[in-house]
Amino acid sequence: MIEERFSMAGRRAVVTGGGGGFGRAFCRILAEAGAEVIPVDIDGAAAEETASLVTGAGGQAWAIECDVADATAVEGMTERLAETGSGVDVLINNAGNSPPSRRVADIPVQEWDDVIAVNLRSVFLCTRALIPMMLTTESPSIVNIASVLGMRGFHPDVISQAGYAASKAGMIGLTLQTAADYGEFGLRANAVAPGWHLGTNLSKRAGNFATPEQEARLQRTLRERVPLQRASTAEELAPLVLYLASDASRFVSGAVMTHDGGWTAI
């Protein structure tokens, strides 16, 4: 009974940013649950590597190289998906850009534009393009990977950048409106807001310091501010994404679920 609710057998899942980090972990768990997964990444070789790892473990996968912040490229991705199947059941909007920490007045305009393009414009483009294909399936689900940084302000001594925060806050707003727009058609849309996770772009920014002492100070600060006093991993986050993608969450839509060890609780 429980396995049936989490089963993804017979479903197709598109995972943007599927070439590594969170995206690769999501592809793996969705494939383990029975889905055909399509990792999409601007780095085609990385997407192919994810697909190979999935198929090597007995799953179904094939890759698409695509700049999801480019409207023409997303149209091409959609055409490929239409040529190879009858629909898309799950869309995981995970592609992201994580710029260096800066205060608002120090952010170059191009850096702002780049992070908004990858983190927010891409979510709109992919959602807009794939919804028609998703509405042909029985239980369509969109899962957007936001961030706790899109939910509240953080002092600059903790990883902080206004462009990143604004893009993730915008993603949350887009998630809520998508859920409202398409609920009557059976499509669900939810967001996940990760906190401090190792092996991700966000955690890599924590190492963007001039000295090891500065990095160590940040790590201490994060441990002090996270009630569980540790970081998480992509592998710990992946089951939450599977839950939201599967029928186990059939009445969950318009939710923003934190995965932050209690960080936003205090």
What are the residue numbers of the active site? Answer: 164
Cβ count within 10 A of residue 9: 9
Tokens of 183: 């609920």
Is the separation of the CB atoms in 54 and 60 below 8 Å? yes
Q: At what angle do helices 21-32 and 44-56 cross, to 10 degrees?
A: 30
Residue matched to tokens 């807001």: 193
196 Cα distance to chain centroid: 14
